[in-house]
Amino acid sequence: MDLGSFSVSLAVKDLVASREFYEKLGFESIGGDPQENWLILKNRDHVLGLFQGMFEENILTFNPGWDQSANELDSFTDVREIQRELKNRGIALSSEADDSTSGPTSVMLSDPDGNVILIDQHR
């Protein structure tokens, strides 16, 4: 099952302090909007999303349709197909995509330790 590109979405208390810290580790801003309290940082193939005030816990994020640089892929597995496969494998979802739609949507689930996983399709 191809879940798409991977990143870690961090719930941060201070966007500026977090950006400065990760820049010292070699990350560079590649997207986001500080005015909306979020940034996307990258160091080689490693991607971090910094989100202030948007959610309470860190989230493992997969983006079907994107490569690790957020470039659109010609071919990818739609999140609705991923959702069907997850359900077939007996995995409970905490939020689901509407199977009757197309385009951007997401599904959410948690691993056995309560870590939240977001499969977030932007196209």
pLDDT (tens, 9 = 90+) of the chain, 123 residues, equals 899 999 999 999 999 999 999 999 999 999 999 999 999 999 999 999 999 999 999 999 999 999 998 899 999 999 999 999 999 999 999 999 999 999 999 999 999 999 999 999 999
- Please state the pTM of the whole predicted model: 0.89
d(Cα 65, Cα 86) in Å, to the nearest integer? Answer: 18
The residue segments making up the domain with residue 111 are: 5-121
What SS3 state is found at 22?
helix
CATH code of the domain in which 74 resides = 3.10.180.10
Domains contained in the chain, number: 1
**Is the Cβ–Cβ distance between 37 and 54 less than 8 Å?**
yes
- Listed residue (9, 62, 2) closest to 37, CA to CA: 9
